[in-house]
Structure 1
């Protein structure tokens, strides 16, 4: 069953229930009002008898004492009267009255004083009556009845009217519900058609036209956003595969060549063999580094960044500065103020480490690297040759390497990883030329307030004889 049919049926059923409830309420309200009028009429006649010259009795002329001689005892053809004794026999009734009022055991109890006045419905032949039985003189009860045939006819007519109106209302509600459901679900039909089109053609550039601002409109907008995100993801995946295949081809080719030479070089001198083995080892290290960075770049940093924790950015910077000071032998200055951010410590450490590694790689011997942390911003400045204007806009692209960087080790993935991590933390990363030469790379993250945080410990002094930093990716590398 389609959703449109379900909505139409639901509308029709809801209206039907409402119509039935209203119709029943109207019917019983009218019935109670009509019966109330009959009861009031019977009580008024009963009061007229009680306030008269005693209860009516047959006289010699056949008339009821205290009651004139009309068509019946009360001048109405649909009203009946009789007096019964304690044995249930009728002792008085208007002359010419058609039929008698049925007497029940409860009526006899009223005549004997064992029960009070009460009202009931009875049927005598084809006559439906409303009967009021009340105590009369000692050992007697007075019964006054009024025909309900007119009330029954009115209620029957009301039932027919309500049935016709209810049926018409339900039918009209079903038709209107079908039209409304069809118009309301038209955007859903377009959404379904678009989804089926995308599934069949794999065309992620398809879009749904949004013409409304309600829930259906928001659903269509969300669907368009999902298609856009999927399209971008597919494009990035294709670009990553293309770039990775290109970057992996060079070290693999070199490895294959060197290994083939080693395999055929039975008469190769030991010095040449050692040189080829060093080349093989270097190419393997480069290949391992590229594969590791590709895996990291392909991972969902945004999902990992959702593992929130409080991160002291100043202490994180101090730890990285200490590590790179030992490895590089460079003088790295740290100027940090207590700064608290929220994010994944490991990812932020990798991003900051990539910036500092890139700065150390491009710093000339004897130069210094400056690291500053304040108000959620971590900046790294080197005093190297800087980045050309033509290259600065591409340094965050995957596998991009400036002309000057192609002679240095690296894959060109370092700053791409930094950008992915920082954007996963709702931050920004920028690179700009320093006023007096060199480059300033900065990470800006949302900062949270902190009170009286202790300053970070100063970094360890540089070690001149420490081994140099291994090749690391950089934006210009």
Structure 2
């Protein structure tokens, strides 16, 4: 069974308090036991010194009881004095019954040891016996240790009761603290469940403070905003794609139906009409292929698995120019390269540069010149592509990088209106931007600006 986070936090709090209480209680009990035993041993040694200086056990008991007269009253059975000769034989006892002389006590009586402390049981009660040497043998003093043991047992009981109460209070406090601390998490969970149920990405949670829970809430709201933006972009892309695909598909279907109609009625089209129709089909198929490829590039560009690597922009622009020459052999390409180190994805960046070159070639006359220039400007590395076409109308400049946007002058030219949108997307993915405007020598200039890389 898996416990909830609240239960686990409560259990952790209870466990921590229980360990702390156990440690404190055990330490306290050990300290008190040590103090009680030291005090008991001090009294026992004091009594043994008195007994060893007297002539008989009875005299020793009398002196000891007189010395303790001002203290708490004790019955005679709590203190027993016993004398032993050098052979280990008992020569007299007072205060209670005699008790056996152990081998170690006999060694003290024989002068082999100065003293020895032992635990014995006398009349079913625990006693502590101190044997000390005296003239002619040894004196043994036995004191009832039951009081010390009872005190320690009572102290242990109270420690246990207080510890249990402390653990119980810790459980309640831990549960209350966990509930309070996890209230923002509950709100976050409810918001996530609500989003999953309603698909409403505009919902969010109220964030207050700057702690970890607040940061989690802010991250959740940022995630919802990013998902909402992504879904809106996908919706717009799907709507725009459906609109743009409708025209070439309709034309393609009409041409195919015309061919089918001619075949069904066993009528051959005139050679010129048939050639023109097949050429239209090929052009429409190529247009659809290009459009679908660009749509795929736009839809997957943000999730490109390509890894960024350090390179010089000329290493990307050069191959792109060679590909553009093969596509538009009637246009002359001129390159001007200067060092411009960047951190980039070479494949996607080359595709973006190729789109710039294709766009420039589309607006150029046969024999026209397209200039591809690589340079650095302050903090930026630049790719500038200039053509000798009619340029970009001032009203069209703000829209040239929008998806499917085509200026009025471009309606008769091939293209899907996605090439420059891909350029802008690739530039943004690299932390840069795409700009368009007039070229210094006439025509249009479209540029990609990327952050310069640190060559050191």
Same fold at TM > 0.5: yes
- Which residue matches 1:212? 209
Cα 1:365–1:34, aligned 2, differ >3 Å: closer, same or farther? same
1:15 and 2:20 are equivalent in the alignment: no
2-structure distance, mates of 1:177, 1:24: 23
Q: TM-score, with normalisation over the residues of structure 2? A: 0.87
Q: CA deviation at 1:322?
A: 3.6
Cα 1:73–1:134, aligned 2, differ >3 Å: closer, same or farther? farther
1-structure distance, mates of 2:445, 2:24: 78
- Which residue matches 2:83? 83
- Which residue matches 2:62? 69
1-structure distance, mates of 2:355, 2:308: 21
Map 1:326-475 → 2, pairs under 5 A? 327-375=328-376, 376-435=381-440, 437-450=442-455
2-structure distance, mates of 1:9, 1:45: 53
What SS does the aligned partner of 1:426 have?
coil
- Which residue matches 1:120? 118
1-structure distance, mates of 2:389, 2:163: 88
- Which residue matches 1:460? none
Judge conservation of contact 1:42–1:132 (CA < 8 Å) in 2: yes
- Which residue matches 1:281? 282
Cα 1:240–1:63, aligned 2, differ >3 Å: closer, same or farther? closer
Q: CA deviation at 1:361?
A: 1.5
What SS does the aligned partner of 2:91 have?
strand
- Counterpart pick for 1:98 among 96, 99, 104: 96
What SS does the aligned partner of 2:62 have?
coil
Q: CA deviation at 1:135?
A: 4.3
- Counterpart pick for 2:156 among 146, 151, 159: 159
| Deviation by residue 1:140-188 (Cα, 9 ceiling, x = unmatched) | 4432232323323432332233223212211221111111111110011
- Which residue matches 1:465? none
Q: CA deviation at 1:197?
A: 0.7
Judge conservation of contact 2:119–2:126 (CA < 8 Å) in 1: yes
Q: CA deviation at 1:110?
A: 4.1
Q: CA deviation at 1:252?
A: 1.3
Q: TM-score, with normalisation over the residues of structure 1? A: 0.84
Q: CA deviation at 1:258?
A: 0.7
Cα 1:421–1:115, aligned 2, differ >3 Å: closer, same or farther? farther
Judge conservation of contact 1:304–1:344 (CA < 8 Å) in 2: no
Cα 1:277–1:168, aligned 2, differ >3 Å: closer, same or farther? same
RCO comparison, higher one (Cα < 8 Å, 6+): 1
Cα 1:279–1:30, aligned 2, differ >3 Å: closer, same or farther? same
1-structure distance, mates of 2:161, 2:426: 70
Judge conservation of contact 1:19–1:169 (CA < 8 Å) in 2: yes
- Which residue matches 2:199? 202
| Deviation by residue 1:203-253 (Cα, 9 ceiling, x = unmatched) | 111111111211111111111111112111211221121111111111111
> 165-174 or 294-303, which moves further after superposition?
294-303
What number of residue pairs does the alignment pair up? 438
Map 1:40-79 → 2, pairs under 5 A? 40-47=42-49, 52=53, 56-58=54-56, 63-64=58-59, 67=60, 69-70=62-63, 72=65, 75=68, 77=74, 78-79=78-79
2-structure distance, mates of 1:303, 1:136: 99
1:234 and 2:239 are equivalent in the alignment: no
- Counterpart pick for 2:140 among 132, 138, 143: 143
> 427-436 or 407-416, which moves further after superposition?
427-436
- Which residue matches 1:130? 128
2-structure distance, mates of 1:373, 1:99: 114
1-structure distance, mates of 2:365, 2:135: 132
